[in-house]
Amino acid sequence: MVEKIINEIKVRFENDSSGHDWFHIERVWRMANFIQEKEGGDKEIVELAALLHDISDHKMNGGILNHGGTVATEILTKFNLSKDKILRIAEIIDQVSFKGANVSDKPTSLEAKIVQDADRLDAIGAIGIGRAFAYGGSKNRLMYDPAIPPTSHTSFEEYAKSKSHTINHFHEKLLLLKDRLHTETAKNIGKQRELFLKDFLEQFMNEWNFNNLEK
């Protein structure tokens, strides 16, 4: 079953250049499995929710919010899974995504926490930086504009609509993620990735402002 679902997902994500390619899904799936081995929870639910977590993201489906659970249910109904399991997986998918600095997004089950942690770890560190600029490029965004400060969004709609430069995304989302990880396993991995993000930002600003150059 997992193999069939992977094939179905691969086709849908093949041509994405916004940071939501199949390799993102694969990393989240592998990371979720890694965290589940250490933290426990239902392996099948973790694995399927991780594979399907971005199946209908609002940034790629024309702006429909919270639609992933419905699409995942359609796919999973084709397989021999209990209704209860499908419901639990769909619930995780609707809980996983980041919805803005001041919007609560608390996952309710251990499995949801694991999938959200795995997804968030892929948004920070070197790969997270690469994904942010790839996403910004795909939307014709500037890397940075010092005249436009970051915003602290208070609703998902407002966050989803925002069209800022990519450096703002670090302040509006990426730097907030470390403190929103749930499992100890993910927190340990997140610490190092967050340091890397901060080093990157410092270096970026130094280069932008011609700091520390020999006269």
Which residues are within 8 A (CB) of 179 and not within 5 positions of it... i.e. 6 or more apart? none
- Nearest-approach distance from CB 99 to ligand ADP, in angstroms: 9
Q: Which residues bind Ni ion (CB under 5 A)?
A: 54, 119
Residues in region 34-53 near ligand ADP by CB under 6 A = none
- Nearest-approach distance from CB 138 to ligand ADP, in angstroms: 9
Residues in region 175-214 near ligand ADP by CB under 6 A = none
Is 54 a binder of ligand ADP (CB under 6 A)?
A: yes
Is 169 a binder of ligand ADP (CB under 6 A)?
A: yes
How far is the C-alpha of 17 from the C-alpha of 93, rounded, in Å? 22
What Rg, from alpha-carbon coordinates, does the chain have? 18
Pick one of 21, 57, 157, 158: the residue that binds ligand ADP (CB under 6 A): 57
- Nearest-approach distance from CB 150 to ligand ADP, in angstroms: 11
Q: Which does 116 bind (CB under 5 to 8 A by kind): ligand ADP, Ni ion, none?
A: none
- Nearest-approach distance from CB 15 to Ni ion, in angstroms: 17
What is the distance between the terminal CA atoms of the chain, rounded to a whole angstrom? 63
Q: Which does 159 bind (CB under 5 to 8 A by kind): ligand ADP, Ni ion, none?
A: none
- Nearest-approach distance from CB 52 to Ni ion, in angstroms: 10
DSSP secondary structure letter of residue 213: -
Q: Which does 44 bind (CB under 5 to 8 A by kind): ligand ADP, Ni ion, none?
A: none
Task: Say if residues 93 and 51 touch (Cβ distance below 8 Å).
Answer: no
How far is the C-alpha of 176 from the C-alpha of 4, rounded, in Å? 35
Q: Which does 167 bind (CB under 5 to 8 A by kind): Ni ion, ligand ADP, none?
A: none
Which residues are within 8 A (CB) of 23 and not within 5 positions of it... i.e. 6 or more apart? none
Q: Which does 131 bind (CB under 5 to 8 A by kind): Ni ion, ligand ADP, none?
A: ligand ADP
Residues in region 105-144 near ligand ADP by CB under 6 A = 119, 122-123, 128, 131-132, 135-136
- In the complex with ligand ADP, which residue's Cβ is closer, 81 or 204? 204
Is 166 a binder of ligand ADP (CB under 6 A)?
A: yes
Angle at alpha carbon of residue 182, lines to 179 and 186, rounded to 5°: 85
Tell me the torsion sign for CA atoms 48, 15, 134, 103.
negative
Secondary-structure percent of the chain, ordered helix, strand, coil, rounded to 5: 60, 0, 40
Side-chain-side CA neighbours of residue 114 (13 Å): 27
